[in-house]
């Protein structure tokens, strides 16, 4: 395809280092779509004849069928998906196949394919995220009033509801969707027609090909069109942030499902046994999702390193872009699917959650707030008084609710038995009515909001 000026063939090792077909065959569908749009445009602009245009389109259809049926033989000697398809086209339709590459280079061809592929990946990820949000929302709905300990520093902080906790992830994954949506929008411009780097002397119509491929518009600068990989980096950055968000809920599942917590029971379908310890139920899927975060970040770092310092315009370094994106896409898609199914399948254990919420004086803030509200104490002083009362209760081995009011009065004589009303887990949770707070009524508002969003 490119051997005109060469006298001898490439070294054997070139046959090892050059080919990308083993991975870029995943771009076959996009490559065919790009070639069809290009061929139609060439024919309608009179750059190739209508007959040649028809022959090319027919040949490409046949190749599409062969690939779908698994009958296409991908050849490493033909380097990449572009040359494999073009060579097969020549076998099918003869010399007219050579006209397809008029006003085009593999440089604009490959990045057109790749943009189309990454765009579709953004859409698949959005669907995966939507399914996960729905699974979380369904559990949140069942548990808008289920009390669990809320932690900061992994120490008991204030009681919250399980629904509120799950909705925090619905928010997080909503922002992930926004990142993929933004990236998709920015990458949705057509590089096709940039040719090798400088454009072409043929009177091509880039608007038509852009439109045919669903791009919003052609890219303005042909050098940018073939050089830019920030769209792929942006995808990988969004994938990395998503993977870190997934790793956090995965980490919670690992913790919640251990018998020491027992907050949730993962289904048999998402746990595995041990070959030595008969009692085990290991949360493998959650652990794997958590573990795969490093791999997705690695994909981002690898491609950022490829692009760093790379002069314009095209360098074959850029052939290293695809595997990283494919790997990250496969990883986040499988992680999302597993996480959504695991969430849908888990059974919360409200009794265990409540029992775990009791110790650690999680309503001490409510006591301090009462001192502020009723006794008009400055918060700092109230904090100190409540701390002394916690110390007293701790010494007696009782909860705040169980501590006699007379004992509290030794610390602050003005305390009355009315304080008892704010010291239970339920009153604490129900009192947190501020916007975004954990009160079941507020949680239900959030649920209603997300139900509208996720329809
Ligand atoms: N396989 C190449 C890639 O993935 C296609 C473009 C090659 N262009 C070139 N002039 N060698 O980037």
Query: pLDDT 10s digit of each residue in the chain, 455 long?
Result: 777 888 888 899 999 999 999 999 999 999 999 999 999 999 999 999 999 999 999 999 999 999 999 999 999 999 999 999 999 999 999 999 999 999 999 999 999 999 999 999 999 999 999 999 999 999 999 999 999 999 999 999 999 999 999 999 999 999 999 999 999 999 999 999 999 999 999 999 999 999 999 999 999 999 999 999 999 999 999 999 999 999 999 999 999 999 999 999 998 888 888 888 888 888 999 999 999 999 999 999 999 999 999 999 999 999 999 999 999 999 999 999 999 999 999 999 999 999 999 999 999 999 999 999 999 999 999 999 999 999 999 999 999 999 999 999 999 999 999 999 999 999 999 999 999 999 999 999 999 999 999 99
Q: Which H or E element spans position 284? A: helix 284-291
Give the Cα separation of 127 and 121 in Å (integer): 10
**Beta pairing class for 147-152 and 155-161:** antiparallel
Atom of ligand 1 nearest to the CA of 79: 1
Residue 157 sits at φ, ψ, to 5 deg, of -115, -75
Question: Which protein residue has the closest C-alpha to ligand 1 atom 2?
Answer: 319
Strand-pairing partners, residue 151, are 156
DSSP 8-state code for residue 272: B
Phi, psi of 189 (to 5 degrees): -130, 145
Tell me which residues are annotated as active site.
Answer: 153, 274
Looking at the CA of residue 81, tell me the nearest atom of ligand 1: 1
Torsions phi, psi for 348 (to 5 deg): -70, 150
Q: Distance from the CA of 372 to the center of ligand 1, in angstroms?
A: 70
Alpha-carbon distance of 139 to 433, in angstroms, equals 21
Distance 174 CA to ligand 1 centre (A): 36
Tokens of 150: 């809320």
Say how far apart CA 140 and CA 166 lie, in whole Å.
Answer: 6
Q: How many CA atoms lie within 13 A of 112 on its CB side?
A: 38
Mutating to test ligand 1, I would choose from 25, 101, 104, 107 the residue with most ligand atoms within 8 A of its C-beta, which is 107
Other beta carbons less than 10 A from residue 82's beta carbon: 25
The residues near 60 (Cβ < 8 Å, ≥ 6 apart) are 32, 35, 36, 39, 85, 89
Å from CA of 66 to ligand 1 middle: 24
- Tokens representing 35 are 């070639």
Nearest alpha carbon, ligand 1 atom 4:
319
Please check whether residue 118 is in contact with residue 229, taking contact to mean a CB–CB distance below 8 angstroms: no
CA nearest ligand 1 atom 7, residue? 106
* Candidate from 81, 108, 110 with most ligand 1 atoms within 8 A of CB, to mutate: 110
Of 287, 309, 191, 303, which is closest to residue 239 (Cα–Cα)?
A: 303
Q: Report how far ligand 1's centroid is from the alpha carbon of 158 (Å).
A: 57
- Pick from 17, 80, 83, 324 the residue to mutate for probing ligand 1's pocket: most ligand atoms within 8 Å of its CB: 80
- Note whether 107 and 314 are within 8 A (CB): yes
Cβ neighbors of 395 (< 8 A, separation 6 or more) are: none
DSSP-derived pairing of the beta strands 155-161 and 347-348 = unpaired
Atom number of ligand 1 nearest to Cα 318: 12
d(CA 206, CA 37): 10
Residue nearest to atom 12 of ligand 1 (CA): 319
Sign of the four-CA dihedral 213, 218, 219, 221: positive
> Would you call the peptide bond into 22 cis, given omega within 30 degrees of 0 as the criterion?
no
DSSP state of 75: -
Distance of CA 352 to the CA centre of its chain: 31
Nearest CA, atom 3, ligand 1: 319
Ligand 1, pocket residues at CB < 6 Å: 20, 24, 80, 106-107, 110, 316, 318-319
Cα 197 to ligand 1 centre (Å): 13
CA-nearest residue, atom 11 of ligand 1: 316
Rg of the chain (C-alpha set):
31
pLDDT for 31: 98
Q: Is the dihedral of CA 450, 452, 454, 455 positive or negative?
A: positive
Nearest-CA neighbor of 267 among 334, 342, 337, 335? 342
If you measure from the C-alpha of residue 109 to the centroid of ligand 1, how many angstroms do you get, rounded to a whole number?
9
């Amino acid at each position: 395809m490119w051997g005109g000026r060469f006298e001898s063939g490439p070294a054997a090792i070139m046959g090892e280092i050059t080919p990308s077909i083993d991975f870029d065959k995943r771009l076959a569908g996009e490559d065919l779509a790009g070639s069809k749009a290009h061929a139609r445009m060439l024919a309608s602009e009179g750059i190739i004849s209508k007959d040649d245009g028809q022959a090319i389109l027919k040949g490409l259809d046949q190749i599409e069928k062969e690939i779908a049926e698994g009958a296409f033989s991908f050849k490493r000697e033909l380097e990449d998906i572009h040359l494999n398809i073009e060579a097969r086209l020549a076998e099918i339709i003869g010399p007219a196949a050579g006209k397809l590459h008029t006003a085009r280079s593999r440089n604009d061809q490959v990045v057109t394919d790749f943009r189309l592929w990454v765009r579709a990946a953004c859409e698949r990820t959005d669907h995966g995220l939507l399914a996960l949000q729905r699974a979380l929302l369904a559990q949140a709905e069942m548990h808008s009033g289920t009390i669990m300990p809320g932690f900061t520093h992994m120490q008991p902080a204030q009681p919250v509801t399980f629904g509120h906790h799950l909705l925090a992830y619905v928010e997080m994954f909503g922002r992930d969707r926004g990142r993929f949506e933004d990236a998709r929008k920015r990458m949705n411009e057509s590089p096709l027609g940039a040719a090798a780097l400088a454009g072409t002397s043929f009177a091509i119509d880039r608007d038509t090909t852009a439109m045919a491929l669903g791009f919003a518009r052609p890219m303005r600068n042909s050098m940018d069109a073939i050089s830019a990989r920030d769209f792929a980096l942006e995808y990988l950055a969004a994938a990395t942030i998503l993977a870190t968000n997934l790793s956090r809920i995965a980490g919670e599942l690992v913790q919640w499902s251990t018998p020491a917590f027992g907050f949730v029971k993962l289904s048999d379908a998402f746990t595995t046994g041990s070959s030595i310890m008969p009692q085990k139920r290991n949360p493998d899927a959650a652990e794997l999702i958590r573990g795969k975060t490093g791999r997705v970040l690695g994909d981002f770092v690898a491609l950022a390193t490829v692009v760093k310092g790379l002069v314009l315009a095209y360098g074959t370094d850029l052939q290293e872009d695809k595997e990283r994106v494919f790997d990250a896409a496969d990883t986040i898609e499988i992680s999302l699917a597993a996480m959504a199914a695991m969430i849908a399948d888990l059974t919360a254990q409200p009794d265990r959650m409540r029992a775990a919420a009791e110790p650690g004086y999680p309503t001490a803030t409510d006591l301090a707030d009462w001192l502020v509200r009723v006794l008009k104490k400055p918060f700092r002083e109230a904090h100190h008084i409540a701390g002394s009362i916690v110390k007293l209760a701790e010494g007696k081995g009782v909860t705040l609710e169980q501590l006699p009011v007379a004992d509290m009065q030794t610390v602050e004589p003005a305390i009355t038995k009315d304080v008892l009303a704010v010291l239970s887990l339920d009153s604490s949770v129900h009192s947190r009515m501020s916007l975004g707070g954990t009160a079941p009524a507020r949680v239900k508002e959030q649920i209603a909001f997300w139900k509208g969003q996720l329809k």
